[in-house]
């Protein structure tokens, strides 16, 4: 493990996940310890069924660990109700998925503003913040477009913008470039890297080593266990 726990945005302590019972028991993730610091971009690699997506779901409170505990910004997620977990996702954690990332009935600006509005921020202020985020990502002109009117890369950039809306500092990305061509994928990673450089923390699941090269550190999973961990020169992929 690297860095001090005081700086850790995400910390997993002995976190494991078992599905089923008895003979049908499947260890999706054996107990692991892991932490992601502010400004750090962590890539998680491994073959299918290695537990990558399970790890990501546990980290953001979408799933509950069978053992161990997850801390986001120092606060443990165990014992939280579904509503409180939703609060954590709304205020601390942002997700980016491979595809179908955006809510189709909302515009780009509305998608980014959604977590803030759900948090009670007035619509006007939330929109202003969303426009700033879109500006930073160079897609301000897409503010009022619906997802179906945007390219995959544009949608992923909006998704990253939403994942970091408000005070959120942790981005959990599940194959964010999987549905994109290589050039568009690179552009999306560039945005993610930039956000980390600005102080956010990110954990990205990927199959692609070239994409993992954008990360500061890479964790390899196999059969639900961390089999290797490698620090990289920051921004190797750039």
Partner 1 sequence: MSAWRAVLRMARRDALRAKGRRALVVAMIALPVLGATGVDVVHRSGQLTAVERADRLMGRSDALVGAYDPGRSVEQSVFPADGVRTLPQRPGSETPEQKRAAATEPTALLGELLPKGSTLTPARTGPVAAVQTRDGLAPVDTFEADLAGDLWQGRLNLVSGRAPAAAHEAAATRAFLAGTGLRIGDRVTVRGLESTPFTLTGAVECPGELNKSELVARPGELYQQLDAAQVVAGLAPQSPGAEQAAAKKAAWLVRLPAGASLGWDQVRELNRYGYTLASRQVAAHPPADALARQEAVGAEDARERRMMTVATTAAMALLEVALLAGPAFAVGARRARRQLALLGAAGGRPGHVRAVVLGGGLVLGAAGAVLGAVVGAALVAVLRTRIEEWGGSRFGQLALRPSDLAAIAAVGMLTALLAALLPALQAGRREVLDGLTDRDPVRRSARWTPLLGLAAVLVGAALALYGAVVAPTGGMPVLAGLSTRTLSVLTGATLAELGLLLFTPLLLALLGRLARLLPVGPRLALRDAARHRSRTGPAVAAVLAAVAGAVAVGVHTAGAEAQDRASYRLEQPVGAVRITLHGDADVMPQLRTAVLQDLPDLGERADLYEAQYVFCEGCSSVVSAEGGPRYGQTMTGPAVVGDTQVLHNLLALRDRTAEEALLAGKAVVTDPSYLHDGKAVLQMQGNGMEAKKVTVDAVLVDRPVGQRYAPLVVAPATIRGLGLQVVPAGAIWLPTAPVADRAEQRAAATVARLAPHSEFGVERGYRPQDSVVQVALSGFAALVVLGAAVVSTALAAADARRERVLLSAIGARPRTRRTVAGLQAGLIALLGGLLGTVSGFVPAYALLRSRVAGMTGAPAVLNAADVPWATIGLLALALPVVAGLLGALRRDDPAGWRG
Q: Which residues bind partner 1 (CB under 8 A)?
A: 57, 60, 62-63, 82-83, 86-91, 94-95, 97, 100-106, 110, 113-115, 117-123, 126, 162
Of 101 and 206, which CB lies nearer to partner 1 in the complex structure?
A: 101
Least separation in angstroms between CB 236 and partner 1: 29
Of 150 and 218, which CB lies nearer to partner 1 in the complex structure?
A: 150
Could you give phi then psi for residue 201, rounded to 5 degrees? Answer: -115, 145
Least separation in angstroms between CB 122 and partner 1: 5
Least separation in angstroms between CB 235 and partner 1: 28
User: What is the rounded distance in angstroms from the CA atom of residue 114 to the CA atom of residue 127?
Assistant: 9
Contact 172, 93 (CB under 8 A): yes
Of 22 and 104, which CB lies nearer to partner 1 in the complex structure?
A: 104
CA dihedral 108, 110, 115, 121 (to 10 degrees): 140
Query: CA-CA distances (angstroms) from residue 8 to 39, 156, 222?
Result: 10, 26, 24
Least separation in angstroms between CB 103 and partner 1: 5
130: number of Cβ within 10 Å: 27
End-to-end Cα, the chain, rounded Å = 25
Least separation in angstroms between CB 115 and partner 1: 5
Of 63 and 216, which CB lies nearer to partner 1 in the complex structure?
A: 63
Of 101 and 177, which CB lies nearer to partner 1 in the complex structure?
A: 101
Nearest to 171 by CA among 53, 10, 2, 6: 10
């Amino acid at each position: 493990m690297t860095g001090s726990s005081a700086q850790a945005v995400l910390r997993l302590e002995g976190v494991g996940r078992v599905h089923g019972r008895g003979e049908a028991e499947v260890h999706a993730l054996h107990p692991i310890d892991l932490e992601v610091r502010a400004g750090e971009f962590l890539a998680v690699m491994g073959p299918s069924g290695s537990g990558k997506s399970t790890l990501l779901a546990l980290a953001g409170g979408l799933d509950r660990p069978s053992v161990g505990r997850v801390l986001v910004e120092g606060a443990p997620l165990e014992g939280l109700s579904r509503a409180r977990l939703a609060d954590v996702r709304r205020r601390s954690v942002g997700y980016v998925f491979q595809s179908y990332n955006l809510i189709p009935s909302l515009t780009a600006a509305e998608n980014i503003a959604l977590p803030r509005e759900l948090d009670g921020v007035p619509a006007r202020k939330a929109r202003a913040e969303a426009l700033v985020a879109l500006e930073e990502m160079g897609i301000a002109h897409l503010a009022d477009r619906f997802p179906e009117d945007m390219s995959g890369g544009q949608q992923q950039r909006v998704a990253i913008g939403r994942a970091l809306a408000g005070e959120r500092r942790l981005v959990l990305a599940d194959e964010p470039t999987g549905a994109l061509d290589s050039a568009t994928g690179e552009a999306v990673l560039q945005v993610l890297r930039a956000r980390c450089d600005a102080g956010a923390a990110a954990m990205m699941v990927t199959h692609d080593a070239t994409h993992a090269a954008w990360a500061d550190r890479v964790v390899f999973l196999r059969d639900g266990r961390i089999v290797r961990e490698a620090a990289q020169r920051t921004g190797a992929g750039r």
